Structure 1
């Protein structure tokens, strides 16, 4: 398979967006290396503009929309929060109106940020179908271009710039662990890594219940329909099914072995990052941290140098997952 985008499109995306994003640092920890039994390199996208990697793909897609359609009426998307923040930020940078659809129950910190960037915030029922339908209605009413959070090749190419930076910062990695929801980031990183360092393997890190490995092994979409959200503490990776556009890319360029992490393990990963590296990360990032520290030795014991994507840091400090609510009266 030839991917619909490659290193050329990723490098072009980087040139397009680099003035509007951070070149995020790579963090190391001797303590976490010792626990993992190998060298770990944490790509700190929690320090990215808008607090997550999503700023990369959103900026690339929105700037291309403005380039191709100077009179664009704006953009619209649906999101669990991080892509919504990123699209609102990108639209503000491009001077375009923006609407963001989020499911009811989206963390307040993400909703506040979306509105802070000037976007219209619209709530819908907490189902994938409701998100798509509400987004489609707004697009039909306003003429705004739909920028899908992951099933968009321009978004994927933008996310691929994570690997472009990481493999320049640490050029001899054996593997990269990537938290996965719809698969846009994992696809972008996998395609870019394939071109830059073919021997480096890209592994997805999923929440319990996603069942991605059996789909990748058989190269078939085996998920039950209709699409659903998973019941997980990691609101950024609740989507069970990866995208129609991302799935064939993942089948070709990502490893079929998938790290499956439960909620308690994600929370442990968050705590490890906070306590050992002083990094505030979301539960989705915690999943990657736990996989790197506790699971790599059993799943792929031959890798020695592992990149770990800290995908976001938009944590609602009023509802930390390890703090029990006070029900006393």
Structure 2
């Protein structure tokens, strides 16, 4: 049954299960198989079995290493000379691409908003990449990136709207379902949608009845768009006012959108800053794990009334702890 679903999807979607399996083969010797954590206190309080996938312990501190390394590797497989790579990023994809470029012997430039967390900028430079600052808007990020790409001849590898990036992120689901085959649902913190698109393709191919849910900061309005079946976000795109800097982009990507529309549940978990902080605090205090606010959003979704009111058939829930690159000198509950 799973195979027939995978073949059916491969005719419609730009990324297939086979692409994700190839990505896993490319990156597995250089990335971590991240652990899965459980917490009995959490399960008892929220009345389901929760499994937390520790991508905060991935290379470079987030899941982004998977997609970046796969994309850079595929780029070099083409046989043409690659002078370097460039991207725009608030931090995690920038770190991941800088690391992947260093692994593959390439130069790298990362365009960062001038309000990016210092801890992430320092890490990007630590991997040997050049940082170019821009204004904190999606438009400025893309324009600056385009100019650097033109000036240096670097190949642009976007944070999410790229088939090889999506395939790399889909390897999370391959691992997760091998570690916890009984998963009924997965909660995925989402910015442009590369991770949730890749996870949905892999998970639904392997286990067609599994449900994949988006977790967003309040104001992203993905549920309204999914329900309407069309992109209703304002143009140009903007950033949300959220402590979860890794998922503050309001719009889903143009490549990721049709995948998400087809495979991801219409119900979306929308979390406030206070709820995100509560998720982070639980993880710090009870699970002894350092996570960033985007990961806290996933935990907040697991704690939410929407999850509490889910159908009883959903008993085993995966939560992606998508990153751990938080500035411990500026934790959100101390910033007010």
User: TM tier, shorter chain?
Assistant: over 0.9
The match for 1:77 is 87
| Aligned-residue offset at 1:293 | 2.4
1:315 to 319, 322, 326: 326
Q: What are the equivalent positions in structure 2 for 1:1-329 lying under 5 Å apart?
A: 2-295=12-305, 296-324=307-335
Q: What SS class does the counterpart of residue 102 from structure 1 fall into?
A: strand
Give the superposed CA RMSD: 1.0
| Aligned-residue offset at 1:36 | 1.4
String of CA shifts for 1:280-313, please: whole Å, max 9, x gaps.
Answer: 1111100100111233112445310000000000
String of CA shifts for 1:60-97, please: whole Å, max 9, x gaps.
Answer: 00111111145201100001100000000000000000
| Aligned-residue offset at 1:175 | 0.2
For residues 132 and 151 of structure 1, the distance between their equivalents in structure 2, rounded to whole angstroms, comes to 13
Task: Point out where structure 2 has 5 or more consecutive residues left out of the alignment.
Answer: 1-8
| Aligned-residue offset at 1:275 | 1.2
| Gap change, CA 1:303 and 1:124, over 3 Å in 2 | same
String of CA shifts for 1:237-288, please: whole Å, max 9, x gaps.
Answer: 0100000010010000100100000000000000011111111111110010
The match for 2:5 is none
Q: What SS class does the counterpart of residue 317 from structure 1 fall into?
A: coil
The match for 2:3 is none
Does the aligned pair in 2 maintain the 1:58–1:87 contact within 8 Å?
yes
Task: Point out where structure 1 has 5 or more consecutive residues left out of the alignment.
Answer: none
| Gap change, CA 1:265 and 1:119, over 3 Å in 2 | same
For residues 232 and 90 of structure 1, the distance between their equivalents in structure 2, rounded to whole angstroms, comes to 28
String of CA shifts for 1:173-224, please: whole Å, max 9, x gaps.
Answer: 1100000000000000001011011111000000000000011111100011
For residues 283 and 303 of structure 1, the distance between their equivalents in structure 2, rounded to whole angstroms, comes to 25
Using the size of structure 1 for normalisation, the TM-score is: 0.97
| Gap change, CA 1:24 and 1:143, over 3 Å in 2 | same
For residues 282 and 92 of structure 1, the distance between their equivalents in structure 2, rounded to whole angstroms, comes to 24
